[in-house]
Amino acid sequence: MSGKSAIFDRGKTSFNFAGKCANDRQRMEYFAQQLINGIVLGSIYGLIAIGYTMVYGIVGMINFAHGDIFMIGGFIALISFLILVSFGLTAIPLILLIVLLVSMAITALYGWTVERIAYRPLRHSFRLAPMLSAIGMSFVLSNYSQVAQGARVKPVPPIITGGYELAERNGFAVQVSNVQIIVVLTTVALLLVFTWLVSRTRLGRDMRACEQDQTMAALLGVDVDRTISMTFVIGAALAAVAGMMYLLYYGLVDFYMGFVAGIKAFTAAVLGGIGSLPGAMLGGLAIGLIETMWSAYFSIEYKDVAAFSILIVVLIFLPTGLLGRPEVEKV
Amino acid sequence: MSEPDKPHARRVLHFAFAFKKAALSAFVSLVLFSLMVGIRTEAGPTGQLIYWTRFDELAGLVAATFVGSLVIELVRQWLGPAGTSQLVPASVQNGIAFAGRLLPPALLIFTLLVPVIFYDQRYILDLAILVLTYVMLGWGLNVVVGLAGLLDLGYVAFYAVGAYSYALLATTFDLSFWVCLPLAGLLASLWGVMLGFPVLRLRGDYLAIVTLAFGEIIRLVIINWQSLTGGPNGIPSIPRPTLFGIPLDNSDDGLAARLGIEFSPTHRIVFLFYLILGLALLTNWVTIRLRRLPIGRAWEALREDEVACRALGINTTTTKLTAFATGAMFGGFAGAFFATRQGFISPESFTFQESALVLAIVVLGGMGSQLGVALAALAMIGGFELFRGLEQYRMLVFGLAMVLLMIWRPRGIIGHRAPTVYLKEAHVISSDLVKEGHG
Amino acid sequence: MSGDRTDRILGVDQLTMRFGGIVAVNELSFDAGRRRITALIGPNGAGKTTVFNCITGFYKPTSGTIRLTHGAAEIALERLNDFRIAKQAKVARTFQNIRLFPGMTALENLMVAQHNMLMRASGLTLLGLIGAPSYRAAEKRAIDLASFWLRRIGLFERADDAAGNLPYGDQRRLEIARAMCTEPALLCLDEPAAGLNARESAALNELLLSIRAEEGTSILLIEHDMSVVMEISDHVVVMDYGVKIAEGTPQQVRDDPKVIAAYLGADEEEAIAVMESDT
């Protein structure tokens, strides 16, 4: 399991032509390029982090299996993509749309099933029991995909190619690839839909009610079970999108990727203030940028150490994260 | 639905309902497994991904889900509305409580005799050493999680610190195991305090993620600080422990030669067995003693209500730090033992999975219960070995077992708490009253 | 102001506590007499518990001073933080919503209260670990003190029962006994009679009076139950909207029109209780 976190660096080189010469690093262009890369990575983290934060907000548990749901999403995107291509479909936008919908639907069902099997029986139990159950479920999911799809990394050829050159000076170009544009645009679009869902719809109202007080919500006619299930379904669907974006961006999936991505995304959720939706996105971006910048300017080996250390430092000064509500001690 | 208060009505089975439910489960499993099991992908010879279908397996899984769901639903109806909680009758639970009193001495005597009974079975001895290592780790983490109620998801960090401390001290300065052991414990507890400081103000899941991050930081530093730790390659040829200076090998001044008996590699295994048993029993003894001392009571009080502790003049900062330091010290001892037993360590042994496993042992054992932790370690590690034949399915079964065990006994095998002091008679305290702590 | 400086145990001066824009307590000043029972009353939301939390170190006051007098020494409570107030200034408190250690026995609850004494006796655990006789003697004294208080609150027979299993009224008394086991100079009680029936309430009165008489402990209490306040208080301070509106003997306060108005404005039932509570 060691050293696997390096998978997050692979494949990126195809879009980032920045040579790491010492003088390159001092350039504005180099910084701009890293900024773009960081935002893209942060978007993926943010999408996963939303799932953590939603579940935490409503049932107050760390859904350790969420990272593996993201991994399953990546696999399903990969498999459905392969099938569509082998059926002779060539229109890339159509393929992407179908892959997106299929992976969201099936992964959402995984989220639903995990909640139904492993968490619902423990809903009113002691706090550590659902957490351990979630860790168990995480082992189950990652091992399941190892058994079902094999342990080897699954590469795919670049599906979306090309990009734009934003600026060029003295042979150094700031580039943004089409994949990066798609990742960021999809994230923004989903966030808008999701914000609308939570703030404007009946389901969103029910979710917020359950977050405040489940008993009261139930008394007022909110179907708590259904609302919680829907939270897991939505979280899993967003994780599936993240999985698909990961596949497009890095061009590979493997059964182990859920662990590292999950921990990073959870770190992002906590950094932003767990329970807060804008916080999750902000935390995702922060972790993405910290990692990218650290790799670019200091050392690629210690990028995760940097991300985790900054988390610890932030929490020392802001014990409930960047956007978390400060906990008022009731005496 | 059957009437709960009429026994004869319980036996009425609603086949149609069960059938419908099973059909629904089968459909769900069909969708779940369709792509993941029905299609198998692999990188082909040219590096291009290829796929083939496995509809037989898919059909088998869906059918199994249908049958399984049908059986579970019918059993549930047959047992009545109380469902799964009745699967464990009160008499069995009382039996467990009663056996609890006889079990520790019996278990201890049996453990002491393991090398005698299984002298020729190297595999069992190795397994016993492994189980005892986890018993010790579980008891160490129990101080932090079970007693003080502070959730620690990075316990493996202290295990690693202990192991690397021993390995580095022994290989660099040529110090003996018995000098390094206390040093390893000391260094680990120092790291425990270092982790403790930043997390003092944190609660609940913030504490969980910071301890997890801490564990990962330690592991990543070990991987990347190659000049010191050897990086992913680890540290080879760590000195084996000696019996107070007498090596356990077939050299001229080895134990066998000195005693005038024939050398056997089993001697060292038996020695290691008693070494870890001694360390584990030391952990147990210290923990039991500490529980009855003011510091241990303060830990438990902290778990119950931190605000009340402060109102009583208890310094919660030092109380938390001592809990972290004590737990970490035991982890460090276990780590030093691990290093000397393996003779080789690498970062692969100190992953989050280890932390999760030890935490599972503590929670499954029943937080705070020493006996429960020992039984849980035996069940988890022993059970894991039983599934060795399943090979690649092992972690799958292990994870499922974790989920089912949590659903079956969320408060662990031994959920009740024994008081640390009594006037007339010690009554066990039901787990419903005992708090889990905020951390 | 009641009594001169030598006679007071607690002097609160110009205490102000703000939460963001809300002023919970505004320039409040009052004294609590040594060996006296001082009651802090007022309608819901008047800021009484906030005052308590400032005194016992759970909140840091925005401004103002809180002085505790120990003989000749004066301790500035607003400068001490959380556990030091109980440990060094010897101020103990109970909570509005009982905060016992529910999973520990009644006896264990009282042992935890003697933590600091026992920690010293156990040589910061080391002497205790090896079972030194001096520690054993200290532990025995601690058990004796706990037993003494268990007898006093009538819970000796239930010493080995989990605190969380005790009836509500017993839990209230156990919490007071636990605070007393820290051997405090000032005992702060946050609504000790809340949820008690008339008989339990009377027993509580007796307990508090005997604590004052036999232990010589000064008591500061917040209470809604006027039968408790009027019967046992030596001095009453009335708060409304974060400011003091009246103080004096129970008799004086009861007849004060401002007090009646405050209660009438807030809660008719409580106002009637103030007016009707004779003796």
C19-40, pLDDT tens digit by residue?
A: 888 888 989 999 998 889 999 9
Contacts of A171-177 with CB under 8 Å at 24 or more apart are A172/A18, A172/A24, A172/A27, A172/A29, A172/A30, A173/A17, A173/A29, A174/A29, A174/A32, A174/A33, A174/A36, A175/A15, A175/A16, A175/A17, A175/A33, A175/A36, A176/A36, A177/A15
Domains within chain C, CATH numbers bracketed: 1-90+184-279 (3.40.50.300), 99-182 (3.40.50.300)
The answer to whether A147 and B396 are in contact (CB under 8 A) is yes
Q: Please, what is the average pLDDT of chain C?
A: 86
* C276 confidence band (pLDDT: 50, 70, 90): low
Q: Per-residue pLDDT averaged across C250-265, rounded? A: 80
Residue C103 or B367, more confident: C103
Chains linked to A by 3 or more Cβ pairs within 8 Å: B, C
For C107, which of B298, B311, B422 is closest by C-beta distance?
Answer: B422
CB pairs under 8 A between A and B: 202
In percent, how much of chain B has pLDDT > 70? Answer: 92
- Sequence-distant (6+) residues with CB within 8 A of A221 are none
Nearest to C197 by CA among C175, C228, C174, C176: C228
Q: State the pLDDT at residue A3.
A: 36
Beta bridge partners of C65: C13
Q: Per-residue pLDDT averaged across A58-67, rounded? A: 89
Task: Using CA coordinates, name the residue in chain A closest to B432.
Answer: A126
Nearest to B203 by CA among A167, A321, A30, A200: A321
- Is residue B416 scored above 90 in pLDDT? no
Contacts of B305 in chain C (CB under 8 A): 99-101
Task: Using CA coordinates, name the residue in chain C closest to B433.
Answer: C103
Which tens digit of pLDDT belongs to each residue from B320-352? 999 999 999 999 999 999 999 998 999 999 988
Q: Per-residue pLDDT averaged across B202-206, rounded? A: 75
Which tens digit of pLDDT belongs to each residue from B36-46? 999 898 887 87
Which tens digit of pLDDT belongs to each residue from A265-282? 988 998 888 888 889 999
- Sequence-distant (6+) residues with CB within 8 A of B403 are A117, A118, A133, A136, A137, A140
Q: Contact A140/B411, CB-based, under 8 Å?
A: no
Q: State the pLDDT at residue B330.
A: 96
Q: Please, what is the average pLDDT of chain A?
A: 85
Q: State the pLDDT at residue B3.
A: 43
Q: State the pLDDT at residue C150.
A: 94
Instruction: State the smallest CA–CA distance between residue C57 and chain A in angstroms.
Output: 11
Q: State the pLDDT at residue A140.
A: 94
Which tens digit of pLDDT belongs to each residue from A202-234? 998 898 888 888 888 888 888 999 999 999 999
Nearest to C177 by CA among B420, B303, B315, B312: B312
Nearest to B357 by CA among A136, A138, A259, A266: A136
Which of A242-246, C9-13, C50-54 has the largest mean confidence? A242-246
DSSP 8-state class, residue C63? E
Q: State the pLDDT at residue C107.
A: 94
Contacts of C125 in chain B (CB under 8 A): 290, 293-295, 322
* A17 confidence band (pLDDT: 50, 70, 90): very low
Contacts of B313 in chain C (CB under 8 A): 83-87, 115-116, 182
Q: Contact C95/A329, CB-based, under 8 Å?
A: no
- Sequence-distant (6+) residues with CB within 8 A of B209 are A62, A266, A267, A270, A311, B153
Task: Using CA coordinates, name the residue in chain A closest to C19.
Answer: A328
Instruction: State the smallest CA–CA distance between residue A30 and chain C in angstroms.
Output: 44
- Residues of A engaging C, defined by a Cβ cutoff of 8 Å: 329, 331
d(CA A280, CA A275): 8
Q: Contact A78/B208, CB-based, under 8 Å?
A: no
Which range is least confidently modeled, A316-330, B10-24, B113-127, C208-222? A316-330
Nearest to B178 by CA among B254, B281, B267, B247: B247
Residues in chain B, how many?
439
Task: Using CA coordinates, name the residue in chain A closest to C50.
Answer: A331
Contacts of C58 in chain A (CB under 8 A): 329, 331
- Is residue A80 scored above 50 in pLDDT? yes
Q: Please, what is the average pLDDT of chain B?
A: 85
Complex confidence, ipTM:
0.87
- Sequence-distant (6+) residues with CB within 8 A of A321 are A270, A271, A272, A273, A274, A276, A279, A283, A314, A315, B206
- Sequence-distant (6+) residues with CB within 8 A of C141 are none
Contacts of B436 in chain A (CB under 8 A): 126-128
Count of beta carbons in the 10 Å neighbourhood of residue C128: 25
Contacts of A331 in chain C (CB under 8 A): 49, 53, 58, 95
Any C CB within 8 A of B289 CB: yes
From residue B419, give the alpha-carbon distance in Å to each of A33, B320, B427, C106.
62, 21, 7, 10
Residue B403 or B92, more confident: B403
Q: State the pLDDT at residue B99.
A: 66
Q: Contact C95/B433, CB-based, under 8 Å?
A: no
One-letter amino acid at B52 equals: W
Q: Contact A132/B406, CB-based, under 8 Å?
A: yes
Q: State the pLDDT at residue C1.
A: 43
Nearest to C182 by CA among C149, C227, C231: C149
Q: State the pLDDT at residue B247.
A: 76
d(CA B399, CA A68): 13
- Is residue A28 scored above 90 in pLDDT? no
Beta bridge partners of B40: B52
For C101, which of B290, B301, B422 is closest by C-beta distance?
Answer: B301
Instruction: State the smallest CA–CA distance between residue C88 and chain B in angstroms.
Output: 8
- Is residue B196 scored above 90 in pLDDT? no
Convert C22-51 to b/e letters by CB count within 10 Å (16 or more is b).
ebbbbebebbbbbebbbbbbbbeebbbbbb
Q: Contact B421/C112, CB-based, under 8 Å?
A: no
- Is residue A16 scored above 50 in pLDDT? no
Instruction: State the smallest CA–CA distance between residue A205 and chain C in angstroms.
Output: 29
- Sequence-distant (6+) residues with CB within 8 A of A196 are none
Q: Which two tokens stand for residue C181?
A: 């086991």
Q: Which two tokens stand for residue B77?
A: 């109806």
Any A CB within 8 A of C53 CB: yes
Q: Per-residue pLDDT averaged across B74-78, rounded? A: 83
Q: Mapping DSSP to helix (H, G, I), strand (E, B) and coil, where does residue B52 land?
A: strand
The answer to whether B308 and C182 are in contact (CB under 8 A) is no
Which tens digit of pLDDT belongs to each residue from A137-154? 999 999 999 999 988 888
Which tens digit of pLDDT belongs to each residue from B87-112? 556 666 666 666 667 778 888 888 88
- Is residue C234 scored above 60 in pLDDT? yes
- Sequence-distant (6+) residues with CB within 8 A of C98 are C168, C171, C172, C175
* B293 confidence band (pLDDT: 50, 70, 90): very high
Q: Contact B360/A82, CB-based, under 8 Å?
A: no
Contacts of B220 in chain A (CB under 8 A): 5, 301-302, 304-305, 308
- What is the number of alpha carbons within 13 Å of residue A209 lying toward its C-beta? 19
Q: Contact C49/A329, CB-based, under 8 Å?
A: no
Scanning the structure block, which residue is given the tokens 């708090």? B435
- Is residue C178 scored above 90 in pLDDT? yes
Which tens digit of pLDDT belongs to each residue from B174-184? 888 888 999 99
Q: State the pLDDT at residue B87.
A: 52
Give Dmax over CA atoms of chain B in angstroms.
79
From residue A85, give the alpha-carbon distance in Å to each of A75, A96, A252.
15, 11, 16
Q: State the pLDDT at residue A195.
A: 86
Q: Contact B35/A266, CB-based, under 8 Å?
A: no
For B294, which of C93, C105, C115 is closest by C-beta distance?
Answer: C115
- Is residue B259 scored above 90 in pLDDT? no
Scanning the structure block, which residue is given the tokens 């030091």? C84
Task: Using CA coordinates, name the residue in chain C closest to B422.
Answer: C160
Instruction: State the smallest CA–CA distance between residue B343 and chain A in angstroms.
Output: 20
Count of beta carbons in the 10 Å neighbourhood of residue A45: 27
Nearest to A195 by CA among A105, A278, A128: A278
Q: Contact A135/B47, CB-based, under 8 Å?
A: no
The answer to whether A251 and A8 are in contact (CB under 8 A) is no
Contacts of A320 in chain B (CB under 8 A): 206
Q: Contact A72/B36, CB-based, under 8 Å?
A: yes
Contacts of B429 in chain C (CB under 8 A): 103-105, 162
Q: State the pLDDT at residue C256.
A: 84
Any C CB within 8 A of B288 CB: no
- Sequence-distant (6+) residues with CB within 8 A of C242 are C17, C23, C24, C25, C26, C28, C46, C47, C50
The H-assigned helical ranges of B293-369 are 294-304, 306-311, 316-342, 352-365
Instruction: State the smallest CA–CA distance between residue A170 and chain B in angstroms.
Output: 35
Q: For the CA atoms of B92, B93, B99, B103, what is the dihedral angle to 10 degrees? A: 120
Any A CB within 8 A of B47 CB: yes
From residue C272, give the alpha-carbon distance in Å to each of A258, C248, C260.
65, 19, 8
Q: Contact C129/B310, CB-based, under 8 Å?
A: no
- What is the number of alpha carbons within 13 Å of residue A142 lying toward its C-beta? 26
One-letter amino acid at B61 equals: L
Q: Per-residue pLDDT averaged across A168-186, rounded? A: 86
